[in-house]
């Protein structure tokens, strides 16, 4: 069998394997609380569902332009203006089936054997997988608990070489729930300005799920980086639309056509019905979403304080997304072993820190996208490990 060597380098996302395992255990009658998968536990708001049904009835059944329909790209541009007071031409906005393709395309366009790409560790596992697949050398930027899992700018600067083509930044961060505010991003941008040939992929998919009245410091606010900035965003997390497969990204003019060609080659165009639903999500009423974010804040506070009462872990205070990332070394177990016991003996699905990078062996990720009742039950079960 002559399988391409590149395929061997492709990794996977453990959260999906754990979801499959948890689903199988549930089908066997086991009582499993799933705190593994990173998706809101709320249905897509009704007005968005209705827009999709209308799109079907109105006959939007065919292909669309590969980069997405213009009214949707215009709606994204308006949303960016509303959020950040920044003008982005719809011609620089690309609609894709979820946010993931943006990671794939950035890595393919800026990767390759001669290049190095810096990525967060712990971080979303698809970064490393895609970098390796592209042939580039992946350079992990360690995010540590002592720094509140924020980027240490000096450490990052030391990793830059003349081969660095791309730096991936994720704020708020998966898996740690860490959030970097404007002051930190200002400093980071000042440092990045010294390296005008390096592109930046800012993964801002959790931009709307931030707590304590903080404002999102989007990289789109920094004009001076615009010509080398890719921003990954989408509907999945904000609008509870993970299954609709709809994402948007902003690309520099120099790369847009490369990315659009990858779209044509890969999937032709995003799903037409989802795109019409996406317009309603951006332009329609937002109360449901605002209430969901308030509920995440309530759960964050509960989970953070309850986990810190346990004697087998300590937990850093999350600032965004819907993840807690406790250090379980007090249990005497690795994050992997702790998570295995949690699922197999206690019926709680978690994702071990190691799935997000080698620097997170002592950690496990808890997605608190689950009801208060289940969170309470799950934390009690974890206390017995």
Determine how β-strand 364-367 pairs with β-strand 164-170: unpaired
Question: Which residue lies nearest ligand PLP, judged by its C-beta?
Answer: 98
Provide, rounded to whole angstroms, the least separation between the CB of residue 242 and ligand PLP: 5
Provide, rounded to whole angstroms, the least separation between the CB of residue 276 and ligand PLP: 18
For residues 209 and 310, which CB has a smaller minimum distance to ligand PLP in the complex? 209
For residues 133 and 346, which CB has a smaller minimum distance to ligand PLP in the complex? 133
For residues 38 and 326, which CB has a smaller minimum distance to ligand PLP in the complex? 38
Q: Which residues contact ligand PLP (rule: CB under 6 A)?
A: 38, 98-100, 124, 170, 174, 203, 205, 234, 236, 242, 247
The closest alpha carbon to 266, from 105, 92, 74, 118, belongs to: 105
Provide, rounded to whole angstroms, the least separation between the CB of residue 36 and ligand PLP: 12
For residues 35 and 333, which CB has a smaller minimum distance to ligand PLP in the complex? 35
For residues 97 and 284, which CB has a smaller minimum distance to ligand PLP in the complex? 97
3-class secondary structure per residue, 61-76: CCCCCCCCCHHHHHHH
C-alpha to C-alpha distances, 255 to 75, 90, 248, 259, nearest whole angstrom: 22, 15, 15, 6
Provide, rounded to whole angstroms, the least separation between the CB of residue 30 and ligand PLP: 25
Provide, rounded to whole angstroms, the least separation between the CB of residue 345 and ligand PLP: 27
Give one DSSP letter per residue of 229-283, joined into a string. EEEEEESTTTTT-GGG--EEEE--HHHHHHHHHHHHHHTSS--HHHHHHHHHHHH
For residues 106 and 236, which CB has a smaller minimum distance to ligand PLP in the complex? 236
229-234: strand order across its sheet:
93-96, 247-250, 229-234, 199-203, 164-170, 116-121, 137-142
Is residue 337 classed as helix, strand or coil in its secondary structure?
helix
Residue positions counted in the chain: 385
Beta carbons within 8 Å of 289's beta carbon, 6+ residues apart: 45, 208, 238, 239
Provide, rounded to whole angstroms, the least separation between the CB of residue 328 and ligand PLP: 21
Provide, rounded to whole angstroms, the least separation between the CB of residue 331 and ligand PLP: 26
Pull the structure tokens for residue 368. Answer: 């608190």
Query: Bridge partners of 351?
Result: 365
Pull the structure tokens for residue 73. Answer: 């790209």
**C-alpha to C-alpha distance for 365 and 338, rounded to whole angstroms:** 11
For residues 126 and 385, which CB has a smaller minimum distance to ligand PLP in the complex? 126
């Amino acid at each position: 069998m002559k399988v391409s060597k590149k395929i061997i380098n492709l990794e996977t996302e453990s959260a999906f394997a754990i979801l499959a395992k948890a689903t199988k255990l549930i089908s066997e009658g086991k009582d499993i609380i799933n705190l593994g998968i990173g998706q809101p536990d709320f249905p897509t708001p009704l007005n968005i569902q209705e827009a999709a049904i209308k799109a079907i009835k109105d006959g939007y059944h065919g292909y669309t332009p590969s980069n997405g329909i213009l009214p949707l790209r215009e709606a994204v541009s308006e949303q960016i203006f509303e959020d950040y007071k920044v003008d982005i031409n719809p011609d620089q906005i690309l609609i894709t089936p979820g946010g993931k393709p943006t990671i794939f395309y950035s890595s393919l366009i800026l990767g390759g054997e001669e290049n190095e790409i810096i990525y967060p560790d712990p971080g979303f596992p698809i970064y490393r997988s895609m970098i390796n697949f592209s042939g580039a050398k992946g350079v992990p930027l360690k995010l540590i608990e002592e720094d509140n899992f924020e980027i240490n700018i000096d450490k990052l600067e030391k990793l830059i070489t003349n081969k660095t083509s791309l730096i991936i930044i994720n704020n708020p961060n998966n898996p740690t729930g860490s959030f970097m505010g404007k002051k930190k991003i200002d400093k980071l941008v000042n440092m990045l300005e010294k390296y005008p040939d390096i592109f930046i992929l800012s993964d801002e998919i959790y931009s709307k799920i931030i707590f304590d009245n903080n404002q999102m410091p989007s990289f789109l606010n920094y004009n001076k980086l615009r010509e080398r900035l890719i921003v990954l965003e989408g509907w999945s997390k904000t609008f509870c639309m993970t299954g609709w497969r709809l994402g948007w990204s902003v690309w520099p003019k120099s790369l847009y056509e490369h990315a659009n060609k990858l779209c044509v080659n890969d999937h032709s165009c995003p799903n037409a019905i989802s795109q019409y639903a996406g317009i309603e999500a951006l332009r329609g009423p937002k109360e449901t979403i605002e209430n969901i974010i308030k509920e995440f804040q309530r759960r964050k506070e509960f989970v953070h304080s309850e986990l810190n009462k346990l004697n087998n872990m300590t937990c850093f205070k999350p600032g965004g997304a819907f993840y807690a990332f406790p250090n379980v070394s007090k249990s005497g177990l690795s994050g992997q072993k702790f998570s295995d016991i949690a699922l197999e003996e206690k019926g709680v699905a978690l994702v071990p820190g190691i799935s997000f990078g080698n620097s997170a062996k002592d950690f496990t990720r808890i997605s608190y996208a689950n009801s208060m009742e289940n969170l309470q039950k799950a934390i009690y079960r974890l206390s017995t490990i």
